[in-house]
């Protein structure tokens, strides 16, 4: 009997010492279901669908056949009840589009930095004028990419259902027409367990 | 029997965590020095003492208090992080299983100690006000989109908390239909008028205001209607409803115009100035303790209550604009707190009865009848009785740095610079720009008023 108690205590001590918190690398594209909030899998799913849809859309195919249109990305309006970094969604989408070789992009968030740099190159008197980049030589954008992310949350006791809808549009700046539009819907459901800690 | 009791106590304490804050020291006395500090030049001097308790059993409550103190002090960024910790704590409560071992452990501890051993999970209106204040934090940090996210979250929670409180069915139903009741308007204006503890017109007004500032008049209209169902007498709210009904061409425009007059719209070169004034602090809970003997053993029962409140001084004039502007009350938070206690009373009484029974059993188990028969001092029984009486403390926890009353005032005035003061506060300079809104948040704590303003 005494030996049994000793063995049990030993087993408990060994078990507890093995239960340390550990860090390990996971697969970035793996499905993540930690909780029902907006997550990495949702971001990847949205970016993939938007890009595939835009590249396969017939008018866009015609548009990109002979030249590469110049696009700038306006922000995605976050109409959900979570603080989501929508800029990372647009970054993923514009990255994929750029790397397809069919589009060229302008980054509107860097305009002030560039202006300061060009001002320094031209007016500070420290840069060789023959190597300085002159003002007024940048290429203008032809299209604007923007969108909305909205959600509907329904909660009832032990079930919570979150529905995300991401809508994106491509607008021709000259004519004002929307050349492409698509939406991606995601539903996440969470149910509370009956027994737990 | 004593051994079983000890094992049971240790087990329940370990399941529910040992960092009890208010089991022996009552909560209002813990917060008093921090409230006192708010009246000084350095309101957040001892905030780390308070924030250290966030990792304890009542972390949610201390996080709320810390966030509010930093907010009153004007440090909106730090207030945001504290409030975020409180939001995470509420989320953890939401995520607990329906039958949760830690909840059972806390319940068991409360049977042997007192209600303060149960982790604090505030009434519904505290959670809504948390998100409302977080929205104001985002707004005053310049992030109106973030403020709208918090507003939407607060609206979702309103419906969730609405389901938790079944009292006052009719007002809840009317509010859901957006009906502004003539009957409600005729009733008297005291705390008894607020029939449920989550019907907080201040939260509805603030969320409506943020929608209006972000150019979403339709959402603003919905929230203002809900606020008007609770506080129909506020002239500024009435004005807002008429103006929005006209702007949105709502079918209720004629009815509102008939009841409250024509909408005043700004003329050219005028800006809007909106005042949100918070006065005082919610009252602290007091405790009533009644000792009584059962079979020769002393027991005591202790319950929380609110003493009758003296009415707030009715001075709310803003001087320094073109004409003196009188603010009007939109919500009495003390009425909400009193209602929350009333709603909690049945459960508290049940727990109290169970606790008296459990402690009586403990008393009996250590009694030594031989010693009593010989007229000797029964030391173990005396110690147990003293333990039982001392641990019998009422649950006096609540969010104490909330304001007691919220008032609003709005006006369209000519653009320019004004030196305003509220009652006998210091002068504060505000700027009004044409076609834009200047939001001024005045927080009055004791003998000091702090003003925060932003132009949107």
Residue range A126-156, pLDDT digits in tens: 999 999 999 999 999 999 999 999 999 998 8
β-bridge partners, B406: B278, B331
- Per-residue confidence (pLDDT) for residue B7, from 0 to 100: 63
* Non-local CB neighbours of B156 within 8 Å, separated by 6+ positions: A81, A153, A155
- Per-residue confidence (pLDDT) for residue B168, from 0 to 100: 43
Helix axes B101-112, B2-16, angle to 10 degrees: 130
* Interchain CB distance below 8 Å, A197 and B152: no
Encode burial over B368-403: b for 16+ CB neighbours within 10 A, e otherwise. eeeeeeeeeebeebeebbebbeebbbbbbbbbbbbb
Mutate to test the interface with A, among B14, B152, B161 (most CBs of A within 10 A): B152
- The class level of CATH for A37-105+139-190 reads alpha beta
CB within 8 Å of chain A, chain B residues 67-96 = 95-96
% pLDDT > 70, chain B: 85
Residue A18 pLDDT exceeds 80: no
Residue A160 pLDDT exceeds 50: yes
* Interchain CB distance below 8 Å, A194 and B146: no
Specify which of A182-186, B92-96, B323-327, B425-429 reaches the highest per-range mean pLDDT.
Answer: A182-186
Burial of B241 (0-12, 13-18, 19+ CB in 10 A): buried
Q: Give the residue among A50, A52, A34, A141 at the shortest CA–CA distance from A89.
A: A50
| pLDDT band for position B5 (cuts 50, 70, 90) | low
* Interchain CB distance below 8 Å, A81 and B96: no
* Interchain CB distance below 8 Å, A196 and B145: no
- Compare B156 and B179 and report the one with higher pLDDT: B156
Going by DSSP bridges, is the β-strand pair B416-422/B428-432 parallel, antiparallel, or unpaired? antiparallel
- Compare B315 and B306 and report the one with higher pLDDT: B306
* Interchain CB distance below 8 Å, A155 and B145: no
- CA-CA-CA-CA torsion sign (B153, B232, B306, B355): negative
Q: Chain A within 8 Å of B145 (Cβ-Cβ)? A: yes
The pLDDT of B278-301, averaged and rounded, is 86
> Which residues of chain A does B99 touch, with a Cβ-Cβ cutoff of 8 Å?
194-196
| pLDDT band for position A164 (cuts 50, 70, 90) | very high
* Closest residue of chain A to B156, computed from CA coordinates: A153
* Interchain CB distance below 8 Å, B102 and A197: yes
The pLDDT of B180-187, averaged and rounded, is 39
The pLDDT of B365-380, averaged and rounded, is 70
Residue B370 pLDDT exceeds 50: yes
Two tokens, residue A182: 């698509």
User: What is the domain partition of chain A in residue ranges?
Assistant: 37-105+139-190
Residue B169 pLDDT exceeds 60: no
Q: Chain B within 8 Å of A197 (Cβ-Cβ)? A: yes
Write the DSSP assignment of B246-268 as a string of letters.
HHHT-TTHHHHHHHH-PPP---T
> Which residues of chain B does A80 touch, with a Cβ-Cβ cutoff of 8 Å?
149, 152
C-alpha to C-alpha distance for B424 and B317, rounded to whole angstroms: 9
- Per-residue confidence (pLDDT) for residue B45, from 0 to 100: 87
Q: Chain B within 8 Å of A155 (Cβ-Cβ)? A: yes
| pLDDT band for position B16 (cuts 50, 70, 90) | low
Spatial contact of B209 and B440, defined as CB atoms under 8 Å apart = no
The pLDDT of B20-32, averaged and rounded, is 83
| pLDDT band for position B417 (cuts 50, 70, 90) | very high
- Per-residue confidence (pLDDT) for residue B386, from 0 to 100: 83
- Per-residue confidence (pLDDT) for residue A114, from 0 to 100: 95
A31 in helix, strand or coil? Answer: coil
Q: Closest approach of chain B CAs to the CA of A77, in angstroms?
A: 8
Q: Closest approach of chain B CAs to the CA of A183, in angstroms?
A: 21
Q: Chain B within 8 Å of A37 (Cβ-Cβ)? A: no
C-alpha to C-alpha distance for A99 and A88, rounded to whole angstroms: 16
Q: Chain A within 8 Å of B218 (Cβ-Cβ)? A: no
> Which residues of chain B does A153 touch, with a Cβ-Cβ cutoff of 8 Å?
156
Residue B245 pLDDT exceeds 60: yes
Q: What angle do CA B297, B298, B303 make, to 5 degrees?
A: 140
- Per-residue confidence (pLDDT) for residue B399, from 0 to 100: 94
C-alpha to C-alpha distance for A75 and A86, rounded to whole angstroms: 7
Q: What is the pLDDT of residues A35-53, one digit of tens each?
A: 899 999 999 999 999 999 9
Give Rg (Cα) of chain B.
25
Inter-chain CB pairs, A–B, below 8 Å? 45
| pLDDT band for position B188 (cuts 50, 70, 90) | very low
Query: What count of other Cβ atoms lies within 10 Å of the Cβ of residue A133?
Result: 12
C-alpha to C-alpha distance for B159 and A156, rounded to whole angstroms: 10
Spatial contact of A68 and A103, defined as CB atoms under 8 Å apart = yes
C-alpha to C-alpha distance for B147 and B208, rounded to whole angstroms: 12
Range of lowest pLDDT (B65-79, B175-189, B354-368, B413-427):
B175-189
Q: Closest approach of chain B CAs to the CA of A31, in angstroms?
A: 21
Write the DSSP assignment of B208-240 as a string of letters.
HHHHHHTT-HHHHHHHHHHHHHH-TT-HHHHHH
% pLDDT > 70, chain A: 97
């Amino acid at each position: 009997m005494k030996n049994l108690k000793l063995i049990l205590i030993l087993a408990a001590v060994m078990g507890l010492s093995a239960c340390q918190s550990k860090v390990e690398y996971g697969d970035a594209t793996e499905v993540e279901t930690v909780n029902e909030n907006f997550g990495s899998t949702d971001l990847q799913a949205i970016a993939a669908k938007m890009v595939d849809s835009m590249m396969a859309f017939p008018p866009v195919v015609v548009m990109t056949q002979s030249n590469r249109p110049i696009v700038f990305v306006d922000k995605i309006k976050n109409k959900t009840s979570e603080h989501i970094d929508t800029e990372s969604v647009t970054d993923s989408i514009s990255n994929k589009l750029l790397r397809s070789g069919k589009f060229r992009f302008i980054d509107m968030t860097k305009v002030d930095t560039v202006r300061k740099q060009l001002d320094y190159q031209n007016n500070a008197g420290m840069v060789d004028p023959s190597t300085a980049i002159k003002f007024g030589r940048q290429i203008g954008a032809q299209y604007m990419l923007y969108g909305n992310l909205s959600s509907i949350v329904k909660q009832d006791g032990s079930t919570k259902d979150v529905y995300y809808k991401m809508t994106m549009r491509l607008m021709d700046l000259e004519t004002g027409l929307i050349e492409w539009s698509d939406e991606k819907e995601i539903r996440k459901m969470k149910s509370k367990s009956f027994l737990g800690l | 029997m004593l051994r079983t009791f000890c094992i049971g106590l240790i087990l329940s304490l370990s399941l529910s965590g040992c960092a009890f804050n208010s089991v022996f020291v009552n909560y209002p006395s813990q917060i008093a020095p921090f409230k006192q500090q708010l009246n000084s030049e350095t309101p957040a001097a001892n905030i780390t003492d308070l924030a250290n308790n966030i990792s304890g059993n009542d972390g949610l409550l201390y996080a709320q208090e810390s966030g509010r103190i930093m907010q009153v002090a004007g440090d909106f960024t730090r207030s945001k992080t504290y409030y975020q910790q409180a939001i995470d704590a509420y989320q953890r409560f939401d995520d607990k299983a329906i039958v949760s071992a830690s909840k059972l452990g806390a319940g068991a501890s409360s049977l042997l100690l007192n209600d303060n051993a149960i982790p604090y999970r505030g009434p519904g209106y505290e959670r809504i006000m948390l998100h409302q204040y977080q929205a104001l934090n985002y707004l005053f940090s310049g992030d109106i989109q973030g403020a709208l996210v918090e507003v939407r979250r607060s609206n979702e929670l309103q419906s969730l908390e609405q389901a938790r409180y079944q009292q006052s069915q009719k007002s809840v139903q009317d509010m859901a239909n957006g009906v502004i009741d003539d009957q409600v308007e005729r009733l008297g204006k005291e705390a008894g008028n607020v029939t449920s503890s989550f019907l907080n017109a201040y939260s509805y007004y603030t969320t409506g205001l943020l929608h209006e500032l972000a150019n979403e008049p339709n959402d603003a209209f919905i929230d203002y209607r809900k606020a008007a169902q609770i506080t129909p007498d506020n002239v500024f709210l009435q004005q807002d409803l008429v103006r929005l009904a006209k702007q949105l061409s709502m079918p209720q425009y004629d009815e509102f115009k008939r009841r409250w007059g024509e909408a005043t719209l700004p003329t050219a070169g005028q800006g809007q100035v909106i005042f949100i004034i918070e006065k005082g602090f919610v009252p602290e809970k007091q405790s009533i303790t009644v000792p009584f003997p059962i079979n020769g053993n002393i027991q005591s029962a202790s319950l929380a209550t609110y003493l009758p409140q003296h009415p707030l001084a009715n001075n709310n004039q803003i001087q320094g604009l073109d004409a003196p502007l009188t603010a009007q009350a939109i919500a009495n938070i003390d009425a909400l707190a009193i209602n929350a206690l009333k709603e909690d009373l049945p459960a508290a009484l049940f727990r109290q009865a169970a606790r008296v029974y459990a402690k009586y059993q403990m008393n009996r188990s250590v009694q030594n009848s031989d010693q009593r028969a010989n007229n000797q001092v029964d030391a173990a029984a005396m110690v147990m009785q003293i333990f039982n009486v001392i641990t019998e403390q009422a649950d006096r926890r609540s969010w104490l740095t909330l304001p007691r009353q919220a008032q609003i005032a709005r006006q369209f005035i000519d653009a320019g610079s004004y030196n305003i003061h509220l009652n006998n506060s210091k002068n504060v300079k505000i700027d009004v720009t044409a076609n834009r809104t200047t939001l001024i948040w005045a927080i009055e704590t004791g003998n000091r008023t702090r003003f925060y303003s932003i132009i949107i």
